[in-house]
């Protein structure tokens, strides 16, 4: 991994520019001192009354002038708190006994849902969505929306991440694909923001692709239904022409590049941002995004901004980075880190050669085409090649990759969602986050380049507990990397032949062999169905 020390570093707070805010902050602080004792108990009291500004005092690089202080994810993970200190969310237990009983209940609940936490004073997980009202004063509109969307109970990541974020803590979370991470960060943001305002952007959600940003915007609007929040997707037009000083926007959902463009060209001010979400965080920490993320993080200069990282895969390198940069964050892992969804039936198919793969695809389509089907290939060139081969059939097929015009990309996603397209050919760009309800099958036409690419690709099925199937073709060229993927399959409960499990694991991280062209020549040899 490249040197990442610049990331998050030097979040400068311009005291002159924000003199008014500092004054206001001072006033609040003075009032608070009169109301409650400073320190941890202070936090606890304010946390119960949802909506009251948190009095958290963070020490951050650039705000205190010192170094980032006390990232305590592991430091105090096992600390047993005195009953008076409670769990950081404001319910003061009546006594020591009740306090330890609560700890026990929390442990059991976490165990039952495969939730693993590290960090000090981690709030109790949610037993139910109703607890959002009783514990945090959640407004009825949100619970109504959950019910209308058919969400009966929180998923494991929602059970733990929501209380953590509501208690004003930063967090980094790893939970399986399709396990409801979007709601886990949107819900606390909506609860904390309470209502729409015209005071500037208050929450930013960063997503690696425009399609995912659009999907997250839709999800966020569904959850906010009935409340006048200003939820905006950063479109190309917005990033190029909007006057953000006049545009009411509470939650801004964007890709890093568009955000950077808007900040530098349209003078978008993010100094009031209270929540910054890095969705698919490990992708955002990859080389291509790093500088843009750094820019975004620095632009969210409010010293008490809450930053959160979510993904289904969290490599140790990203964790290490988060550990040194976030303050007093809680680490939440659901299930085992970096594993595939267990509700997906996974299959490896030996196809020998490129030609063999095409024949295998033809056979699958002839015997059991159960649309919609998503096919992943290694590159946009190969996506186009396969599309050309399949376009000659009566299968309704489309293709999506990042060289296509935006309108075409949007159409491809919309038509696939609407069932107008049966088979969508995609590159890894669309392996992350996309939620196609009713998708039955993912075919890895080209072997995935890494274990995490595999996890995200096949995670397009088996979402929200539904069943799904994933078929992965491999050729001779893929054999050296077979074990890396077989390990993931085995960890999610698949039976893998012992000869594969006894193979050595490839040491290199990215598997992108040069492949023969998919194009098979004369038309009569092309697929027919
Ligand atoms: N509590 C819930 N009960 C039932 N379904 C839910 C619940 N929360 C979210 N969902 C649904 O689960 C599906 C997956 O959610 P989401 O897209 O947030 O997953 P994710 O964890 O972000 O996945 P990925 O890692 O692929 O991005 C969505 O269709 C969403 O509507």
CA dist., res. 245 & res. 360, Å (int): 56
Instruction: Specify burial of residue 375 (Cβ count, 10 A radius: 0-12, 13-18, 19+).
Output: buried
pLDDT at position 82, please?
39
Residues 6+ apart with CB under 8 A from 76: 119, 120, 121
pLDDT category of residue 14 using cuts at 50, 70 and 90: very low
User: How many percent of the chain have pLDDT more than 70?
Assistant: 80
pLDDT at position 522, please?
56
**Which ligand 1 atom sits closest to the C-alpha of 464?**
12
For the segment 428-456, what is each residue's pLDDT rounded down to a tens digit?
999 999 999 889 899 999 999 999 999 99
ipTM tops 0.90:
yes
CA distances from 15 to 211, 223, 273 (A): 38, 36, 16
CA dist., res. 14 & res. 299, Å (int): 11
- Centre of ligand 1 from the C-alpha of residue 64, in Å: 38
H or E stretch covering 185 = helix 181-193
Measuring CA to CA, which residue among 414, 384, 386 is closest to residue 402? 384
Q: In the predicted model, what is the mean pLDDT of residues 309-326? A: 89
For the segment 403-412, what is each residue's pLDDT rounded down to a tens digit?
999 999 999 9
3-state class of 444 per DSSP? strand
pLDDT category of residue 94 using cuts at 50, 70 and 90: low
pLDDT at position 72, please?
31
pLDDT at 420 over 80: yes
> What interhelical angle do 140-148 and 210-224 show, nearest 10?
120
Q: In the predicted model, what is the mean pLDDT of residues 374-383? A: 97
Cis bond before residue 42 (omega within 30° of 0): no
pLDDT at 225 over 60: yes
pLDDT at position 521, please?
62
Nearest alpha carbon, ligand 1 atom 14: 178
For the segment 481-505, what is each residue's pLDDT rounded down to a tens digit?
999 999 999 999 899 999 999 999 8
pLDDT category of residue 93 using cuts at 50, 70 and 90: low
* Chain mean pLDDT for the chain: 83
pLDDT at 11 over 50: no
Of residues 268 and 42, the one with the higher pLDDT is 268
Nearest alpha carbon, ligand 1 atom 22: 181
State the pTM of this model. 0.82
pLDDT at 9 over 60: no
Question: Strands across the sheet with 203-206, in order?
Answer: 115-118, 330-334, 171-174, 306-311, 275-279, 203-206, 251-254, 231-233
Of residues 517 and 272, the one with the higher pLDDT is 272
pLDDT category of residue 54 using cuts at 50, 70 and 90: very low
CA dist., res. 370 & res. 469, Å (int): 10
Three-state DSSP string of 322-382 = HHHHCCCCEEEEECCCCCCCCCEEEEEEEEECHHHHHHHHHHHHHHHCCCCEEEECCCHHH
pLDDT category of residue 458 using cuts at 50, 70 and 90: very high
Q: Which residues contact ligand 1 via a Cβ below 6 A?
A: 151, 154-155, 158, 175, 177-183, 312, 433, 435, 437, 459, 463-464
pLDDT at position 245, please?
85
Choice among 71-80, 140-149, 212-221 with the minimum mean pLDDT: 71-80
- Centre of ligand 1 from the C-alpha of residue 182, in Å: 6
- Centre of ligand 1 from the C-alpha of residue 177, in Å: 8
User: How many percent of the chain have pLDDT more than 90?
Assistant: 66
- Centre of ligand 1 from the C-alpha of residue 228, in Å: 24
pLDDT at 525 over 70: no
**Which ligand 1 atom sits closest to the C-alpha of 459?**
26
Neighbour count for residue 66 (Cβ, 10 Å): 10
pLDDT at 326 over 50: yes
Neighbour count for residue 18 (Cβ, 10 Å): 17
Half-sphere exposure of 515 (CA within 13 A, CB side): 30
Domains along the sequence of the chain with CATH: 99-334 (3.40.50.300), 344-502 (3.40.50.300)
pLDDT at position 209, please?
95
**Which ligand 1 atom sits closest to the C-alpha of 182?**
18
- Centre of ligand 1 from the C-alpha of residue 211, in Å: 16
For the segment 102-132, what is each residue's pLDDT rounded down to a tens digit?
999 999 999 999 999 999 999 999 999 999 9
pLDDT at position 242, please?
85
pLDDT at 88 over 50: no
Phi/psi region, residue 176 (left: phi>0; alpha: psi -120 to 50; beta: rest), is beta
Nearest alpha carbon, ligand 1 atom 10: 180
Q: In the predicted model, what is the mean pLDDT of residues 150-171? A: 98
pLDDT at position 365, please?
92
């Amino acid at each position: 991994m490249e040197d990442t020390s610049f990331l998050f570093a030097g979040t400068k707070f311009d005291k002159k520019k924000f003199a008014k805010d500092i004054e206001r902050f001072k006033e609040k602080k003075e009032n608070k001192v009169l109301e409650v004792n400073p320190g941890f108990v202070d936090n606890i009291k304010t946390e119960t009354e949802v909506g009251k500004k948190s009095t958290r005092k963070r020490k951050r690089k650039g705000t205190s002038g010192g170094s980032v202080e006390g990232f305590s994810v592991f430091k105090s993970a096992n600390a047993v708190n005195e009953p008076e200190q409670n769990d950081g969310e404001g319910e003061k237990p009546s006594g020591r006994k009740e306090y330890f009983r609560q700890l026990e209940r929390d442990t059991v609940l976490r165990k039952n849902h495969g939730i693993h936490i590290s960090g000090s004073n981690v709030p109790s997980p949610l037993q139910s969505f109703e607890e959002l009202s009783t514990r945090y004063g959640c407004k009825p509109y949100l619970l109504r929306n959950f019910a209308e969307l058919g969400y009966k109970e929180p998923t494991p990541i929602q059970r733990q991440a929501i209380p953590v974020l509501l208690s004003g803590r930063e967090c980094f979370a790893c939970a399986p694909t399709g396990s409801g991470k979007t709601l886990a960060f949107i819900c606390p943001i909506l609860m904390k923001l309470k209502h729409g305002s015209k005071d500037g952007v208050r929450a930013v959600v960063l997503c690696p692709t425009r399609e995912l940003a659009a999907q997250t915007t839709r999800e966020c609007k569904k959850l906010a239904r009935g409340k006048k929040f200003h939820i905006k997707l950063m479109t190309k037009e917005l990033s190029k022409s909007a006057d953000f000083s006049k545009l009411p926007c509470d939650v801004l959902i964007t890709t890093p590049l568009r955000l950077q463009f808007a900040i530098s060209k349209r003078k978008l001010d993010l100094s009031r941002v209270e929540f910054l979400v890095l969705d698919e965080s490990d992708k955002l920490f990859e080389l291509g995004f790093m500088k843009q993320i750094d820019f975004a993080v620095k632009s969210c200069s409010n010293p008490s901004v809450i930053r959160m990282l979510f993904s289904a895969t969290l490599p140790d390198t990203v964790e290490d980075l988060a550990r040194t940069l976030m303050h007093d964050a809680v680490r939440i892992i659901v299930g085992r880190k970096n594993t595939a969804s267990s509700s997906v039936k996974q299959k490896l198919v030996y196809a020998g050669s490129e030609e063999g793969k095409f024949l295998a695809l033809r056979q699958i389509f002839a015997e059991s085409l159960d649309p919609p089907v998503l096919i992943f290939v290694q590159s946009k060139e190969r996506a186009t090649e396969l599309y050309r081969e399949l376009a000659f059939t009566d299968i309704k097929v489309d293709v999506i990759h990042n060289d296509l015009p935006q309108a075409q990309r949007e159409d491809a996603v919309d038509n696939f969602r609407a069932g107008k397209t049966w088979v969508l050919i995609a590159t890894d760009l669309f392996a992350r986050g996309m939620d196609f309800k009713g998708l039955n099958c993912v075919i890895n036409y080209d072997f995935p380049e890494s274990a995490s690419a595999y996890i995200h690709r096949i995670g397009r099925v088996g979402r929200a507990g539904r069943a799904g199937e994933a078929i992965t073709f491999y050729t001779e060229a893929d054999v050296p990397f077979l074990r890396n993927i077989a390990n993931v399959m085995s960890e999610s409960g698949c039976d893998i032949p012992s000869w594969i499990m006894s193979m050595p694991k490839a040491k290199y991280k990215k598997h992108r062999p040069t492949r023969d062209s998919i194009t098979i020549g004369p038309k009569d040899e092309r697929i027919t169905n």
